[in-house]
């Protein structure tokens, strides 16, 4: 199809509009007094330099550390969202060393695997990235405390589910696209974990879908600010009091874009279900329980190839009796 591989082409209903909606309704929270945030911003600038240096390497050098279905870490340039290939390159590294996850999505397979990022021959400054992870993780725990309190729970109620967290730090690279009206940097989705702490450059491209009218709202870059995405975990735990935001990334034909998301995922053995404190005889559980680790490795399988059907989503665990 012209000069773009059909694997990248979105179906007509989900192709981006080149004209955008101008809004000022994204809430901003001031954490400027936080030493953790200041330190994270300083180290984050170093991570941005690391990302640019890596993604500007020749493609054959990057593919020497390419990840696959057996290895969740390192470089990848063929990710799919909603079964359509994303116009981006990524590099993933694990935050917790080692990260323990189920060996397979098979519910009867009890085998676990320990994965390490350190020790791999990687052409970037891994220590700079891991230092950033350690600082941003503190910020993520602080945000979890605030969310717990907002739900009327003890401050540490959610944090205790992350003793052996399983999330990665990701470096995203979106090259210029000759057909930005056909492709997306990342297709529409919600984040599967609890929180995403995102830094983006000044190019822009992130859009969030309005829950009221379905329009796509551009999130303008703000200097020295993080974007915090609520993920599916918090939607389930809060029994829909919090709702994960559907979002996507549009591309452009002129400028490359970089972003750095920190994904905060719970321990692999955590049973996902609405918290008991938030349900009662009148407020029913809206989700059936499932294991986080199995859910994670199942979802991860769609990153590498086009599936015959859409991958597992939290909607698959909705309890019909609560609707």
DSSP 8-state class, residue 164 = T
In a domain, 93, yes or no: yes
In a domain, 295, yes or no: yes
- C-beta separation of 201 from 174 below 8 A: no
Residues 6+ away with beta carbon under 8 Å from 276: none
- C-beta separation of 240 from 179 below 8 A: no
Q: What is the pLDDT of residue 320?
A: 82
**Across 153-182, average pLDDT:** 96
Task: Count how many domains the chain has.
Answer: 1
In a domain, 238, yes or no: yes
CATH code of the domain covering residue 141: 2.60.120.330
What is each CA distance from 78 to 34, 89, 118, 185, 186, in whole angstroms?
38, 7, 23, 11, 11
* Cα(92)–Cα(80) distance, integer angstroms: 15
In a domain, 1, yes or no: no
What is each CA distance from 183 to 21, 148, 214, 300, in whole angstroms?
19, 38, 19, 21
Lowest mean pLDDT segment, chosen from 155-164, 169-178, 294-303: 294-303
In a domain, 188, yes or no: yes
**Across 28-52, average pLDDT:** 82
What is each CA distance from 266 to 5, 124, 166, 193, 280, in whole angstroms?
36, 27, 6, 7, 25
Average pLDDT across the chain, whole number: 89
pLDDT in tens, 262-304: 999 999 999 999 999 999 999 999 999 999 999 999 988 766 6
**Across 162-180, average pLDDT:** 96
Which helix (H) or strand (E) segment holds residue 75: the answer is: strand 74-76
Give the 3-state secondary structure of residue 168: strand
> Containing domain of residue 46, as a range?
6-322
The pTM of this model reads 0.92
Q: What is the pLDDT of residue 197?
A: 96
pLDDT in tens, 87-117: 999 999 988 888 999 999 899 999 999 887 7
No. of helices (H) and no. of strands (E), the chain: 5, 16
* 145 CB-side CA count, 13 A: 8
Q: Between β-strands 195-200 and 112-115, what pairing exists: parallel, antiparallel or unpaired?
A: unpaired
In a domain, 154, yes or no: yes
Give first-to-last CA distance, the chain, whole Å: 43
One-character DSSP codes across 52-69? HHHHTS-HHHHGGGB-BT
């Amino acid at each position: 199809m012209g000069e773009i591989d059909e694997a990248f082409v979105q179906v007509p209903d989900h192709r981006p509009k080149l004209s955008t909606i101008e809004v000022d309704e994204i809430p901003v929270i001031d954490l400027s007094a936080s030493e953790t945030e200041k330190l994270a911003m300083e180290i984050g600038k170093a991570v941005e330099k690391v990302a640019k240096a890596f993604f500007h390497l020749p493609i054959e050098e990057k593919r020497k550390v390419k990840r696959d279905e057996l290895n969740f870490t390192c470089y990848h340039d063929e990710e799919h969202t909603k079964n359509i290939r994303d116009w981006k390159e990524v590099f993933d590294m694990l935050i917790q060393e080692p990260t323990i996850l189920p060996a397979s999505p098979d519910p009867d397979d009890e085998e676990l695997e320990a994965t390490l990022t350190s020790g791999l021959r990687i052409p970037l400054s891994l220590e700079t990235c891991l230092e950033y992870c350690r600082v941003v993780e503190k910020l993520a725990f602080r945000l979890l405390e605030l969310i717990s309190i907002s739900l009327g729970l003890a401050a540490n109620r959610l944090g205790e589910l992350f003793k052996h967290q399983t999330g990665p730090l990701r470096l995203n690279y979106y090259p210029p696209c000759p057909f930005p009206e056909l492709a997306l940097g990342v297709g529409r989705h919600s984040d599967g974990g609890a929180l995403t702490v995102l830094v983006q450059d000044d190019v822009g491209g992130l859009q969030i879908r309005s829950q009221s009218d379905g329009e796509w709202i551009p999130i303008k870059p703000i200097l020295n600010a993080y974007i915090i995405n609520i993920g599916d975990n918090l939607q389930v735990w809060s029994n829909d009091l919090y709702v994960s935001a559907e979002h996507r990334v549009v591309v452009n034909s002129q400028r490359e874009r970089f972003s750095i998301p920190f994904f905060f995922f719970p321990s692999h053995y955590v049973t996902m279900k609405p918290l008991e404190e938030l349900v009662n005889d009148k407020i029913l559980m809206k989700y059936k329980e499932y294991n986080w680790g199995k859910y994670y490795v199942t979802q991860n399988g769609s990153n590498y190839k086009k599936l015959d059907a859409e991958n597992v989503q939290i909607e698959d665990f909705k309890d019909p009796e609560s609707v």
